[in-house]
Structure 1
Amino acid sequence: MEQFQTLIEIIQDRASRAENGIIFISGDTQEEYVSYSQLLEQALQVLHQLQEKGVQPGNKLIMQIEDNHTFVNVFWGCLLGGIVPVPVSIGNNDEHKMKLFKIWSTLTCPYMIADHKVLEQLEKYSHQHEMLDFFDSVKEATFSSHDFDYSDQNKGTIHQSRPEDLAFIQFSSGSTGDPKGVMLTHENLVYNIRDITNQTGMTSSDAYLGWMPLTHDLGLIAFHLTCVIAHAKQLIMPTALFIRRPSLWLKKVSEHKVTQICSPNFGYKFFLDQYKSKTADNWDLSSVRMILNGAEPISVELCHVFMEAMSVHGLKKNIMYPVYGLAEASVGVSTPPLDKDNFVTIHLNRQQLHVGEPIEEVDSSDKRCLTFEDLGY
């Protein structure tokens, strides 16, 4: 693989080639294809309009954008201009709104780009909690995600970022205490996505379908950015669409001959709970060469149930790989080797798991047994 120094070098190289890009899925029959060349073009248009508003290299820009196409345009526009994007998940409950305000307070003079609906919800929340003065300062530095004009052919000025420069800030999805921002440099991200690509054997002949939110490290780094460096085709399905119609996930895998998918453990159960074999008679999942399972504890039993159920559609039974990652390490930490048994289960005495205690392996029938999955190297 080529030796890139920054994410900017990667997108410029991929845009210079004719093949592959992103398919944005918004429904059963609603899809939009954007090549990597078009992505670069649109990101530079966004950058121009941000620079016209006075956003400078090094400024932080909180992203509250639901539409995936707009999200990637803004994200790459920021990277190209040396602006630091801060993707934050959009939540409907008060806890998420307070988290956003805490993140705002953590950053120095940030800007925000947000959907109209997000601003309305924040204003309502601020009124209920007597925080209108604070909200007014937020609103003053906020741009609407609906105002970008792609008929404007002007392009922004690219900032010459260095490997050690801050690329973006990732706020951990951990639920304890105040939100903590992980500062990721171009070097952090280039190394991690390169290594994920090498470990999974991803190439430009692969097609990867993901439904995890792009505000999550699994969706943004392990999926979107890794596909870009691998120059693979990527299909992005909104998380809300997967929640409404989980069967559409594998239906699209069949239609597009997708080779790689990924989900947290719960996604496989959620899919199975609503799966009806009679509506999937014509599915062909034989193109899938790898399924990654990460982001939460893994149930080996559930993995086997899912793979067995989907084998009737041609899915190979030995292609699910349990993996581990965390935001503080960009995303990827460990994967099992591709040439060995991908499920290695360890049964331990649950009464001897404190720090400093020697672990004791027990039989799976032992009442003290707690089962763990080996997540590779």
Structure 2
Amino acid sequence: MTEPGPRAASRDREALTDQLLEIVHRLVRESHPGATAPPAVALESRLDRDLGLDSMARAELVLRVERAFNVDLPEQALAADTPAELLEAIVSAHGHASADRPQPSPMEIPPVTGAPRQATTLTDALDWHLDRHADRPHLTIYASDGPPETLSYAELDRRARTVAGGLTARGIRRGDALALMLPTGAEYFTAFLAALRIGATPVPIYPPARASQLEEHLRRHGRILTNAEVRVLITVAEARQVARLLRAEAPRLEGIVTVDELTRPETSGEDEAAGSDDLALLQYTSGSTGDPKGVTLTHAQLLANIRAMGERLDVTPEDVFVSWLPLYHDMGLIAAWLGSLYYAMPLVVMSPLGFLARPLRWLEIIHQHGGTISGGPNFGYELCLRAITSERLEGVDLSGWRVAFNGAEPVSPVTMERFAEAFAPHGFRREALMPVYGLAEAAVGLCVPTPGRGPVSDRVGREKFVATGKAEPVHGDEPALTFVNCGPPLSGHEVRIVGAAGQELAERREGEIEFRGPSATDGYLYNEDATRSLYDGPWLRTGDRGYLVGGDVHISGRSKDVIVRGGRNVYPYELEEAVGRLQGVRKGCVAVFGNPDAETGVEALVVVAETRVKDTDERERLAQAIREATVDIINLPADDVRLVPPHSVLKTSSGKIRRAATRELYRSARLGAPTAAAWWQVLRLATESAVTRLRARTARLGEWGYAVYAWAVFGVMATLVGSSAVVLPRRQWRWWLARRCVRLAAAMTGIRIQREGIEHLTDCGPCVLVANHASYLDALVLTAALPRDFRYLAKRELGRNALVRVLLRRLGTLFVERLDPQAASEDTQQAFVAIERGDSLAVFPEGTLHRGAGLGAFHMGAFVAAVRNGIAVVPVALRGTRSLMRGSDWLPRPGPVGVCVGAPLEPHSDGWSEAVRLREASRTFILDRCGEPDLAS
């Protein structure tokens, strides 16, 4: 009998792998019964971080694996971090999987299963789909005329490889930058993938709106081409006539070519194996031609953002994405196309110009193709409202549209409500509307709500917000500002709000938004100064302002001068320069700024130019010239052109345009009005600046003063409790003293504890209390609120300090190892013994706290202990402790906190399923009352 060959052995191992992954997948689903999209399972998935399986769940997994494969695994299998490590343990114990091992029935496998979770690059993700369903329709492209063109994964890849061959023949290699200046169409997708196939870096550039603009358009983009060191520009045929001009603007540019010229059916480019940390995209913020800032995005960063957005939106291959968004914009390129490519969603695209010409065509296409996900900037919804006619939309059904995102420019609550009302007769559901927040430096998405929530707005007191930055809710007819809730950060990402002095602010305090996470850019290409200014330690500055409520981000404005118009960023400098060159305009005396409409949220583009021209006809001709220059420069018309007398545009002492101050004059109708004497202006500005600085420093001193006082109070109480705990012989007596000392400390420091449902603990026998973990103050708050003593389960690191260890042990604390699975399992036995003795446990089942708002996944240990011993689980929701002291920030703050105790949950049977039921019931109770989002959904 011959030994099995390599191919047979490979098939056996594949069968073994499939069965193991199915076992892991089933346990993950059982352990997350309420999750609409449980984590995908792959060989390299981390059992704890990726799949949410704690030490108890891993023990259950090992048991199931042993039963399924009839093997005895070594104890070390409990410490396996990934299914791959478990697979090696199985192979070592069992030799290899037998060839006749039962396989999943083909009928049980859906047409598209899962997503390419193990892919490390975008081309890996594409290859995953080509291996499984190459003929699946991927793109449906609506051109300006004629029927749509549909491309499968296989056809798109075939075309891309022929273009890749043409690029390779021109000497383009891995790491080279290729600029794409193409309209929405098959050629764009083909060229982009061709670049990725040979390891080159695509650089999207928006195409000109009119052929007459081509020369000026390309000249102004020479700075981008130079900064990116672009070797080849792939564009339309009409651009070849200005190749000589562009080579003067961008010395490294070797050629301007079309997709047709690159297409070589007889050849195909050889794949260059790009790594996860290689650049996959250079995203230049639209209009940044004066000082180009190319956001560097690697394959890993793009995939991290795509996966996080897909998980948040519960994306499946059954979804259909409909998009009119420009492919040179991150929302259209990454969110719409690359997200669809990754998740095998059919993507239906129409050109931006086609949408602008016929906005309702967007909605018709959603109806025709059963679109479930679509969206755009706020102005897109406004265009539809202006274009709506009952005749045009007759028969259009929008009931399947489940995610209607609104982002890339300020979101108007009024627009969303009007859109929901106007299109409700066509089946559109208000709950589908979804305000979102993102930026190119985070790839695209940063904050996204859960689907089905609908738009949520926050009305805050106008006067207090403007004066102090405090976003205090108001009701009724009080003067108010309304801000849109953009949801919590994506999984794995964090957001914080910082003040002028760089300190982190509490909830409902406005400041600059900073973020960090796996999709955050490493900086700007060849621009060290801009990269340095982007970072604040490990955090990235967004330049946007806002505040947090329950972990959700509310955007209040922008710190930077960028104007968001028509879904594009407009940078004032280049437009001011162009207008300043017009005859009749005072050079260097032009201000360009945005003025958002209070109702629609659309930001009007305002151009203010100084001139000495008096004649009415000449002024009208000058205003018209400014409008034409605006269209030529940014492809958008100015909404308002103001010609003002000399010295009306405000400047700094160094001659820089003060756009914000000029905008305030515009809003108050004081543009061109006589100005006060210079000495009076200087005095007023100096006074205002001094008052602002004094307020900021006073507030900061107040925060530090309170922190010193609070820690002094805590220290005195800790000393009293610690010394008494050593003397007092009974744990009940020590707890009695600790409760009263903590209550006194809370009262002295302004921490107001509000209790609810405490009666559930008075008649309850031994139990396991489980609470959410949001702050280092949680244990103190529980100690003060609870009417009886509990034995806390704490991480072993807390016992490293001898004094702390003695105090906690005298109060009955049990220390548990959390990093070593085998040791954790052994330590958990302490809890079982304590319960058998009649003690009650207090557990934070999330484990280590995290600084970002949200309820994490619960570990199983506490619930398994309750089921095994037949005692109740009592859920307790803590609300507000994170705001008092967040994460590793050791500056406490005064304020109210809530402690809500739920009814005891009795186990009705034994076994793993009952422990999962208790966990889910406890977590549901806590999630409903803690006031924070669900991080495990």
Contact 1:15/1:38 (8 A) holds in 2: no
Question: Could you report, residue by residue, the CA deviation over 1:35-82 in whole angstroms, capped at 9, with x for unpaired residues?
Answer: 012111111111011101111111111111124210110101111110
- The residue type equivalent to 1:34 in the other structure is L
Distance 1:112 1:242, change over 3 A: same
Name whichever of 210-219 and 14-23 sits farther off. Answer: 14-23
1:144 and 2:144 equivalent?
no
User: Aligned equivalents of 2:228 and 2:476: distance in 1?
Assistant: 49
Aligned to 2:28: none
Select 1:343's aligned residue among 455, 468, 471: 455
**After superposition, what is the alpha-carbon deviation per residue over 1:307-336, rounded to whole angstroms, capped at 9, x for unaligned?**
221111122221111111100110010111
* Preserved CA contact (<8 Å) 1:44 1:77: yes
Q: Does 2:174 align with 1:72?
A: no
- Separation (CA, whole Å) in 1 of partners of 2:288 and 2:476: 32
Q: Give the match for residue 286 of structure 1.
A: 399
Instruction: Provide the residue aligned with 2:887 in structure 1.
Output: none
Offset of 1:136 from its aligned partner? 8.6
CA distance in 2, matches of 1:52, 1:287: 47
Question: In 2, distance between residues paired with 1:312 and 1:132?
Answer: 52
Of the candidates 99, 103, 123, which is equivalent to residue 8 of structure 1?
A: 123
- Contact 2:402 2:451 survives alignment (8 Å): no
- Aligned residue number for residue 314 of structure 2: 201
1:90 equivalent among 183, 191, 207? 207
Q: Does residue 1:218 correspond to 2:331, yes or no?
A: yes
Measure how far apart 1:110 and its partner are: 2.6
Corresponding position: 1:362 with 2:474: yes
Name the structure 1 match of 2:236. 115
Count, aligned residues: 367
Q: 1:178 aligns with which of 272, 282, 291?
A: 291
Identity across matched positions, percent: 30
Query: Alignment partner of 2:193: what SS?
Result: helix
After alignment, is 284-293 or 265-274 more displaced?
284-293
Aligned partner letter, 1:74: A
Q: Which residue of 2 aligns with 1:134?
A: 248
Shift of 1:8: 0.9
What SS does the aligned partner of 1:73 have? Answer: helix
**Structure 2 alignment gaps of length 5 or more:** 1-39, 41-116, 489-937
Contact 2:404 2:432 in 1 (8 A): yes
Within 5 Å, give how 1:97-112 maps onto structure 2: 97-108=218-229, 110-112=231-233
Pick 1 or 2: higher relative contact order, CA cutoff 8 A, min separation 6: 1
Q: Which amino acid aligns with 1:315?
A: F
Deviates more, 1:168-177 or 1:348-357: 348-357
Deviations 1:195-227 (CA, angstroms, capped at 9, x unpaired):
111111111111110001100000000100001
Measure, in 2, the Cα distance between the counterparts of 1:71 and 1:166. 19
2:379 and 2:338 map into 1 onto residues whose CA distance is 23
Residues 143, 185 of structure 2: 8 Å contact kept: no
Q: 1:255 aligns with which of 368, 374, 377?
A: 368
The one-letter code of the counterpart of 1:348 is V
- For residue 274 of structure 2, what is the aligned residue in structure 1? 161
Tell which deviates more after alignment, 349-358 or 76-85: 349-358
DSSP 3-state at the match of 1:298: coil
- Residue identity opposite 1:301 in structure 2: V
Q: Residues 12-56 of structure 1: CA distance to partner in whole angstroms, max 9, x if unpaired?
A: 111231423110111475201000121111111110111011111
- Residue in structure 1 matched with residue 159 of structure 2 by the alignment: 42
Residue equivalent to 2:818: none
- TM-score (normalizing by structure 1): 0.90
The answer to whether the 8 Å contact 1:99/1:179 transfers is no
Q: Which amino acid counterpart does residue 366 of structure 2 have in structure 1?
A: V
- Report if the CA contact (8 A) 1:68-1:214 is conserved: no
> Residue 329 of structure 2 aligns to which amino acid in structure 1?
H
Q: C-alpha separation between the residues in 2 aligned to 1:232 and 1:331?
A: 18
Q: How many angstroms does 1:362 deviate by?
A: 3.5
Superposition TM-score, scaled by structure 2 size: 0.37
Q: How far is 1:257 from its partner?
A: 1.2
Greater than 3 Å deviation, 4+ residue runs: 92-99, 135-140, 174-177, 349-367
Taking a change above 3 Å as real, the CA distance of residues 160 and 310 of structure 1, as seen in their structure-2 partners, is same
Q: Distance in 2 between matches of 1:132 and 1:58?
A: 22
- Contact kept in structure 1, 2:434 and 2:449, CA below 8 Å: yes
Deviations 1:323-354 (A, max 9, x none): 11100110010111236x33221123445557
Aligned 8 A contact 1:168 1:183 in 2: yes
Query: Any idea what SS the aligned residue of 1:9 has?
Result: helix
d(CA) in 2 for partners of 1:69, 1:353:
49
Distance between the aligned counterparts of 2:293 and 2:338, measured in 1? Answer: 22
